[in-house]
Chains A and B, each alone.
Chain A
């Protein structure tokens, strides 16, 4: 029991932060699955969701803010795709990726300008920010509700992809971009839809993440974004369950490393893990091996 109450906090922190990474990672993995694009701006869209919440909550009640943040974030995700990625559809992949880096740079600098470079305090969302005690460990309720919520959302998403028409179109597009176009799939709406889902999940992730870690800064999305991307690669990029499992693993490992006192290496270890996986199983844990077309 003593051992449990000593070590449970690490595990709980790991699972909850892992769940939040998972919500971001899904956005990466879906976009990559279809466009083969590392959407570097995704972490910053997550940051924007946090900032919008901060500013919205100063004038509106929380229950209005939450749907508003979701809508606004989805809109940003949609616009980013339309403005920065769509015109480059036929350009080399590197150009699109650089456009993504450019968007990330722009969003961060806009946030810097708007906030004046000061960290903004995230508002308290009632109920999920309450402090509770589980097995003698004191924590916020959000820590406990994150994992089931993530699993619910993933189940919903998998259902959407497997059973609906748009889901089928997404799967087709990720299998073969050109052919699916020839088969009459409106590729642009599929891509927009992918970005909408990704941004929606990032917005949900932002509620959970910032309720725990309340400072919102212009660069706050960078590290979680990078880690979520690592999680997506780790799980096999393009695979949603892979991304989720990868994210949980990374969250837990990172906190165990901190618990062991290797705090300098908490970020580095994530990358070390990634490199090891890439070397021994380049397509990630659950990725499909794709043969090069000559």
Chain B
């Protein structure tokens, strides 16, 4: 299959997906649960991919994602609350210090930039650390960021530990898919560039990579900042989706959740991360919800079903995947047009022995 037909098929597929979403949006009532989970799924897909860039492609075990999402979410919220609403939101701080509001799109980009700046500064000291030490240091920084944003001395800017709300947000499902899709495409482009190959070399063997002339500190810093940039963007999208945001929600548990998504999808697989985000969100927030309420089949009460059972089942599913489907849904493979349509052709060309 030629590269050209592949591109055409890809474009057609993406177009078809957007069309389906558009039709969904036109036909179903806008309050349908499917939109809630698809929006959140798209946002989580972006942050999962950004985490995969670090953990899966560069081999940097970072657990700071929630912290960078927080920075992004706050940057977005603080910069876009309409001036008229500020007195209400910052009611304990006399309307706050900032008295302007930016266009949402500009604010989203700034959210990423802000997270990137934080990441750059944090990266300077911590990226020298190895594996688990790096993990715990980034986790620590995420907690520190959370404490700083809750500090009431910064209240005129961050509203202390209270909710930010009333900022503008796009309601359309398409917006979340396009925004998240564009960002993921950018990450894929980075991974396929020379930088991406250097990242993988670092992941596979740091010493060898250094011997090959790859500047470790420089490349790690790039991966870290880029990943955090997109975590910041996804934080802004999450803020938008939730319509209110607060530092208290960006706990380490959130990072763990994202890490689980990455693992379930397959460490080192972009499409895996995307698929598993949607599965994760759809299962945990929607499909399994029926487990939380009592149910009767005929007159017999189904045992075990009560509030909280959903999460137990969900945790068990996760454990099963982690233990028995260790490679996750996709392993390190990617879902691609070439693999589906081009398999027979490839096989012929390579004598039928090649499989990735």
Contact = CB atoms under 8 A, between A and B. Distances in A.
Direct A–B contact in the complex, CB atoms closer than 8 angstroms: yes
B125 A94 contact: no
A94 B267 contact: yes
Interface string A95-120: 10111011111100110110011000
Interface in A206-265: 222, 226, 229-230, 233, 264-265
A117 B307 contact: yes
Interface string B16-60: 000000000000000000000000000000000000000100000
Contacts of B254: none
B68 to A, nearest CB: 16
A91 interface: yes
Contacts of B128: 279, 282
Interface residues of A, number: 45
Contacts of B148: 268
Contacts of A101: 256, 259-260
A278 interface: yes
Contacts of B312: 106, 109-110, 112-113
Given A112-B311, A264-B150, A102 B129 contact: no
Contacts of B136: 38, 229-230, 233, 274, 278
B322 interface: yes
A267 interface: yes
Contacts of B323: 83-84, 87-88, 99
Nearest to B148: A268
Interface in A171-194: none
A98 B130 CA distance: 18
Interface in B106-140: 125-126, 128-133, 135-137, 139-140
B175 interface: no
A226 B252 contact: yes
A140 interface: no
B98 interface: no
A275 B326 contact: no
B319 interface: yes
Given A98-B259, A264-B152, A271-B143, A109 B137 contact: no
Contacts of A134: none
Interface of A is mostly: helix
A278 B136 CA distance: 10
Contacts of A109: 308, 311-312, 314-315
A105 B318 contact: yes
Given A84-B323, A101-B260, A275-B141, A264 B131 contact: no
B133 to A, nearest CB: 6
A279 B307 CA distance: 45
Contact of B260 (A83, A88, A98, A272): A98
A294 B260 CA distance: 30
A264 B311 CA distance: 31
Interface in B139-183: 139-141, 143-144, 146-148, 150-152
A272 B144 CA distance: 7
A292 interface: yes
Given A38-B135, A93-B131, A275-B141, A99 B322 contact: yes
B197 to A, nearest CB: 21
A141 interface: no
A94 B128 CA distance: 19
A237 to B, nearest CB: 8
B259 A279 contact: no
Contacts of B61: 94
Nearest to B256: A101
A268 B251 CA distance: 12
Interface string B315-327: 1101100110010
B259 A272 contact: no
Contacts of B287: none
Given A98-B260, A264-B147, A274 B322 contact: no
Contacts of A83: 323
A113 B309 contact: yes
A83 B152 CA distance: 45
Residue with the greatest number of chain A CB neighbours at <10 A, chosen from B137, B146, B259 = B137
A214 B139 CA distance: 28
B101 to A, nearest CB: 28
B263 interface: yes
A279 B133 CA distance: 10
Given A94-B267, A101-B256, A105-B315, A116 B132 contact: no
Contacts of B318: 102, 105-106
Contacts of A274: 136-137, 140
Contacts of A97: 132
Interface string A32-68: 1000101010000000000000000000000000000
Contact of B141 (A91, A94, A230, A271): A271
Closest 5 CB pairs of A and B: A271-B140, A268-B147, A113-B308, A106-B315, A109-B311
6 contacts: A38-B136, A94-B55, A113-B308, A264-B147, A278-B126, A292-B130
Given A104-B256, A112-B308, A282-B129, 14 more contacts: A32-B132, A36-B132, A84-B322, A95-B322, A95-B326, A102-B315, A103-B319, A113-B311, A113-B312, A117-B308, A222-B252, A264-B147, A279-B129, A282-B128
